[in-house]
Amino acid sequence: MLLWSSIVGLIRGVSESLGATGGAAMIYSVASVFLLLSVGFPKLREFPRTYLFWGSLLFVSYELCLALSIGYANSSQQAIEVSMVNYLWPALTMVCAIVFNHQKTNFLIIPGFIIALMGICWVLGGERGLDFASITANIQDNPLSYALAFMGALIWAAYCTVTARIANGKNGVTLFFMLTAAALWVKYMLMGAEPMQFDLHTLIYLVLAAAAMGFGYAAWNVGILHGNVTLLAGASYFIPVFSAALAAFVLQTSLSLSFWQGAAMVCIGSVLCWVATRQK
């Protein structure tokens, strides 16, 4: 969770120097090397074909949405706000687990989900909090980033649900990262391959971002394959607070009181959702 919490600020730090697509391509390429050296390349013959197809498709799609939504943000503050939209995925994962995996729950799941959703809206409202005019204006300022973040939340919820059912205990994270890097490099070349400017500051951010991404996802895949998906999703509700704090520190950005109020609401919703899905 701590590794994931650092991703937003680090991705944004790299993209400011290397560009949204080029920076993301470099991050996933270096992360793939880290995973090859630590986790190794999986034995694909032992993998269920359905997992290879759907796992690859959903994982790569999500990572493209995540990295590009942050990279395309107009400012560091907007990048943090965009990342909060992406954090709808834990709530959506629980809903998917209940609907498709028949996870047992109780009535607390409803207020928990609503409070978490209101927390996201509170953040998007800026200093006015839950103000629909401000939320609309904020989204219209950069609809692409917000749309990518929301699509990513839906896709990652589907990935977590599908993987728990069809992976048969296999972990394809190294392959998935390599496919993501390849997709980003193709996009980078098609866009004209604009030059990237490297310096010591950028290289440090790149290595840190790649390590956080690679090892964070490796740990997460182990959790969803061998652990409790709803418990992981519930615990993930606390990521927004840690992520926002680390991103604000890394990007030297101040966040308003209403932002932290919204983040707190997301955490409260997480507790209710965890209680609702906890098995006696």
Kindly report, residue by residue over 29-50, the tens digit of the pLDDT: 999 998 888 878 888 888 888 8
Q: Which residue has the higher pLDDT, 250 or 56?
A: 56
CA distances from 110 to 151, 169, 241, 263 (A): 22, 31, 22, 18
Produce one character per residue of 94-124: b if its CB has 16 or more CB atoms within 10 Å, e if not.
Answer: bbbbbeeeebebeebbeebbebbbbbbbbbb
CA-closest candidate to residue 67, choices 152, 3, 191: 152
**Residues 148/65, Cβ–Cβ less than 8 Å:** yes
How far is Cα 19 from Cα 71, in angstroms, rounded to an integer?
7
CA-closest candidate to residue 274, choices 150, 120, 97: 97
Q: Which residue has the tokens 């690679």?
A: 214
The domain locations on the chain are: 1-277
Question: Residue 76 is encoded by which pair of tokens?
Answer: 């560091």
Kindly report, residue by residue over 130-163, the tens digit of the pLDDT: 667 777 777 888 889 889 988 998 898 888 888 7
CA 23 to chain centre: 16
Residue 223 CB neighbours (<10 A): 18
How far is Cα 185 from Cα 172, in angstroms, rounded to an integer?
20
CA dihedral (165, 154, 110, 81) in degrees, to 10, reads 140
**Residues 32/181, Cβ–Cβ less than 8 Å:** yes
> pLDDT-based confidence at 280, cuts 50/70/90?
very low
Kindly report, residue by residue over 231-278, the tens digit of the pLDDT: 555 555 566 666 667 667 766 777 777 777 887 787 787 777 777 776
Instruction: Give the lowest-confidence range in 27-41, 54-68, 86-100.
Output: 86-100
> What is the chain's alpha carbon radius of gyration, rounded to the nearest angstrom?
18
CA distances from 167 to 47, 50, 162, 229 (A): 7, 8, 8, 13
Q: What is the DSSP letter of 251?
A: T
Q: Is 31 exposed, middle or buried (0-12, 13-18, 19+ CB in 10 A)?
A: buried
pTM to 2 decimal places: 0.80
* pLDDT score, position 26: 92
Question: Residue 90 is encoded by which pair of tokens?
Answer: 């834990």
Q: Which residue has the higher pLDDT, 137 or 225?
A: 137
Is pLDDT above 90 for 182? yes
How far is Cα 32 from Cα 15, in angstroms, rounded to an integer?
18
